[in-house]
Structure 1
Amino acid sequence: MKTSSLFETVRLGNQTLRNRIVLPPLTRSRSTQPGNIPNELMATYYAQRASAGFMVTEGTQIEPRGQGYAWTPGIFSEAQIEGWKAVTRAVHREGGTIFCQLWHVGRVSHRSLQPGGEAPVAPSAIAAEDVKVFVETGPGEGALANPDQPRALTTEEVEELVKLYARAARNAIDAGFDGVEIHGANGYLVNQFLSEHTNHRTDQYGGSLQNRLRFLDEIVVAISEEVGADRLGVRFAPLFESTNEERVYLGLVESDPHGTYLEAARLLQRRGIAYISIAEADWDNAPELPESFCAELRNAFDGALIFAGRYTPEKALKMLAAGYGDLFAFGKPFIANPDLPDRIRRGLPWNEVDPATMYGGSAKGYIDYPTYDSGQETAGPVTAPAATEA
């Protein structure tokens, strides 16, 4: 297999990337407590993987209400901004390019994670079903829990959230990031506004598809005015079949994903953002994106297109040759292989992920996976569940 085309330089907004291999956003829950502050352990983790052409951080909450899982980092406090500076400095020393993923979970949260124990917020007061959140049960200990019933945001609160996204983007640039990504996937807040299943609003943010896209559009405009459209990407997770397993992983499926996401792509094309990232379903026997959708997406959007979800070098090369994608993300393999681009280039075997150390904990299963040339061996198992690309 000739992988040389994965190592071509490629443009993404105002960046020239050294290869087409991406570290996607992967929740690891290692931030310092209290305060959900990025730390030196996280700086080491990202720096180890900086040979990727492009990196996006784990989901990073834009405000306290945006948190849905224990120990995930934020980008709204001074301490968090300072913590992220150590991460971006470490990545840039290694020649890497890194964006911060701006995250608000909306209804996918628990009162124990919300300020004052209040209910989570959402477009409409509709509970998230068939999805779990991870809550802290003691120092360094946690358990899965059902999300709590949310309350509907007022129109004024929606408008304030748009400003909070823009402020988070400014904070990210001040922290040294090269740009930001809006998390519009996986059943979280932006996705909740997008879907008619979770958005029953009667104001300008609900009803027609144009209205359901309004929240995303206003965030894109506000961030573009704050830091520039060429420093902005958006992530989606369109699914074209509805199964129980999809609901477990994503919380919802749009009734017309084809029309919804192509219209979203046309909107983002008009706004001139740098890229769209598509997270495909990543479990065994998951439905694949229809080729017709990939072709229409390419025609609708002329910025960079990133694809993720159980990708192999072979699958990436096929998508590249067809002209559908520009960059390709490798989630679980990048967790266990800090030198993944080198392994792909040289055709070397890959370490396997240890599922017991995926979320929370210490350096074990986080920064101690060996590079191939270190001569060490990993204790990871032969098989592992797919990493959460949150």
Structure 2
Amino acid sequence: MTNYKFLEPYTFEKKGITVKNRIVIPPMTEMMSFSNGEVTRDELRYYRIHTGGAGMFITAVANVNDEGKGFEGELSAADDKFIPSLASLADAIHKNGTKAILQIFSAGRMTFTSVLRGKQPVSASAVKALRNNSEEPRALTEEEVEQTIKDFGAATKRAILAGFDGVEIHGANTYLIQQFFSPHSNRRDDKWGGSLEKRMAFPFAVIDEAQKAIDKYAKKPFIMGYRLSPEEVEKPGITIEDTLAFVDAIKNKPIDYLHVSMGDVWRKSLNDSSIDKPLNLMIKEHLGQDIPLIGVGDIQSPADAEKVMDNGIEFAAIGRESLREPNWVEKVESGDENAIRYTLSLSDHDALGLSGTFWEFLLASFRPGLQISSDKQTDRSLFNNALDGIFAGAK
């Protein structure tokens, strides 16, 4: 079967840019960059193996300044010296017309002094994350907040000059932008914190600054997406009501898509058992037709992806499945669905470009989700629920 809706092209109306299909490779941490944030040959090899089928490929996250580095082996877009390195990455992704999207972020308090080479982590406020081994951050000064916003704009400029087709602003997974939106990590009493509306000020300022860079430097249509996590488990923390208010407000901003970070695309509320509707469908109701939505989380088969389309969500992201099967789209297009791999053999990891620190990271943190063929198969929902707990801020 090749007449799936997810194989149809999609045009971002605001920008007039068309992607060849509705399948997305979402951002996945691979820890393969050099210690200074430059792209490595192993990293380029991984992207070349896995690109070419999906309409969009969103990179692993790149920091926008030195204080924003969250882990070793992380990409960087913090300086003009990284433009050639980023250009090689964009070029690698562009195979067969796949659009290359650079995800940009600052880790905020979700990093360590050792990663920052002796500097204390920063955040909206001096509030420690409720996770094992977390460190107390220092609050950014108002001047530093303004500079961080400018750093996001500068990183967007570098993505443009490097030949990317867009950026995704990472406002999810408990990193700095989410820390400004969260009532747990943001206890400020200036214009960047306090009320729900003031907690939206920093993410919206980042979006505005990125758009300024696009207006000034982009010579062709350039996509800007935004990723969010819909809830936090901390008390106080982000609620789905907060997120829906955020979604209503972000419709007035110049973003081209919204990407909701979850381990299960059909997950319901972690905090309110009375909510019987998947959070993605609640968010889509608020977005309407104004902004397309990327659904992600345990989408494996063509039927899984088509269900996303059938429920009015414009894009389906295949993360873990793309690691196992880099030719997923091509096999669907050629009517060869029976050849799609849904398990991963340990002996195939290097051939798939899953090597070095990336492979070690996957085995240590995501092995149940990899569906390794020699492992005893477990309930997928158990891993998805654990992943959602991580995304929502659990220990």
TM-score, scaled relative to structure 1: 0.80
What secondary structure, in the 3-state scheme, does the structure 2 residue paired with 1:162 have? helix
Equivalent of 1:320 in 301, 304, 309: 309
- Give matches, 1:95-134, under 5 Å: 95-115=97-117, 117-130=118-131
Amino acid at match of 1:98: A
Alpha-carbon distance in 1 for matches of 2:297, 2:195: 30
What are the superposed Cα offsets for residues 12-54 of structure 1, whole Å, 9 maximum, x if unpaired?
A: 3442111111100000000123x12112322222222221111
- Residue 11 of structure 2 aligns with which residue? 11
Instruction: Check 1:322–1:152 CA distance in 2 against 1; reply closer, same or farther (3 A cut).
Output: same
Alpha-carbon distance in 1 for matches of 2:323, 2:342: 9
Which stretch shifts more, 206-215 or 80-89? 80-89
CA-CA distance at 1:254 after TM superposition: 6.5
CA-CA distance at 1:336 after TM superposition: 2.0
- Residue 191 of structure 1 aligns with which residue? 178
Alpha-carbon distance in 1 for matches of 2:92, 2:187: 44
Amino acid at match of 1:361: G
Alpha-carbon distance in 1 for matches of 2:45, 2:199: 39
Alpha-carbon distance in 1 for matches of 2:3, 2:235: 34
Alpha-carbon distance in 1 for matches of 2:188, 2:85: 38
Equivalent of 2:30 in 28, 31, 52: 28
Alpha-carbon distance in 2 for matches of 1:359, 1:185: 25
- Give matches, 1:105-184, under 5 Å: 105-115=107-117, 117-130=118-131, 146-184=133-171
What secondary structure, in the 3-state scheme, does the structure 2 residue paired with 1:342 have? helix
**Partners of 2:55 and 2:97 within 8 A in 1:** no
What secondary structure, in the 3-state scheme, does the structure 2 residue paired with 1:41 have? helix
Amino acid at match of 1:298: K
**Partners of 1:200 and 1:206 within 8 A in 2:** yes
- Give matches, 1:1-390, under 5 Å: 4-12=4-12, 13-33=15-35, 35-48=36-49, 49-115=51-117, 117-130=118-131, 146-228=133-215, 231-239=223-231, 242=233, 252=234, 255=237, 257-282=239-264, 291=277, 293-301=279-287, 302-312=290-300, 313-323=302-312, 325-345=313-333, 346-347=336-337, 348-353=339-344, 361=356, 381-382=374-375
**Partners of 2:23 and 2:317 within 8 A in 1:** yes
Alpha-carbon distance in 2 for matches of 1:253, 1:22: 33
Which stretch shifts more, 60-69 or 379-388? 379-388
What secondary structure, in the 3-state scheme, does the structure 2 residue paired with 1:126 have? coil
Alpha-carbon distance in 2 for matches of 1:334, 1:236: 21
CA-CA distance at 1:284 after TM superposition: 12
CA-CA distance at 1:353 after TM superposition: 4.3
Instruction: Check 1:166–1:354 CA distance in 2 against 1; reply closer, same or farther (3 A cut).
Output: farther
What secondary structure, in the 3-state scheme, does the structure 2 residue paired with 1:99 have? strand
Give the total of aligned pairs. Answer: 352
Alpha-carbon distance in 2 for matches of 1:61, 1:200: 24
What secondary structure, in the 3-state scheme, does the structure 2 residue paired with 1:32 have? coil
Alpha-carbon distance in 1 for matches of 2:358, 2:193: 44
Alpha-carbon distance in 2 for matches of 1:73, 1:188: 15
What are the superposed Cα offsets for residues 322-355 of structure 1, whole Å, 9 maximum, x if unpaired?
A: 21x1001111111122112124443233153479
What secondary structure, in the 3-state scheme, does the structure 1 residue paired with 2:186 have? coil
What secondary structure, in the 3-state scheme, does the structure 2 residue paired with 1:187 have? coil
**Partners of 1:217 and 1:267 within 8 A in 2:** no
CA-CA distance at 1:287 after TM superposition: 5.7
CA-CA distance at 1:90 after TM superposition: 2.1
Instruction: Check 1:253–1:10 CA distance in 2 against 1; reply closer, same or farther (3 A cut).
Output: farther
Alpha-carbon distance in 2 for matches of 1:72, 1:168: 15
Alpha-carbon distance in 1 for matches of 2:30, 2:3: 29
**Partners of 2:325 and 2:340 within 8 A in 1:** no
- Residue 371 of structure 1 aligns with which residue? none
Structure 2 residue runs of 5 or longer lacking an equivalent are 216-220, 362-370
Instruction: Check 1:79–1:336 CA distance in 2 against 1; reply closer, same or farther (3 A cut).
Output: farther
**Partners of 1:332 and 1:353 within 8 A in 2:** no
Alpha-carbon distance in 2 for matches of 1:11, 1:381: 42
CA-CA distance at 1:212 after TM superposition: 0.3
Instruction: Check 1:314–1:341 CA distance in 2 against 1; reply closer, same or farther (3 A cut).
Output: same
**Partners of 2:124 and 2:185 within 8 A in 1:** yes
What are the superposed Cα offsets for residues 225-273 of structure 1, whole Å, 9 maximum, x if unpaired?
A: 1115952110012138x4xxxxxxxxx5764522222222222211131
TM-score, scaled relative to structure 2: 0.79
What are the superposed Cα offsets for residues 173-230 of structure 1, whole Å, 9 maximum, x if unpaired?
A: 1111101011011111011111101111111111111000000010111111111595
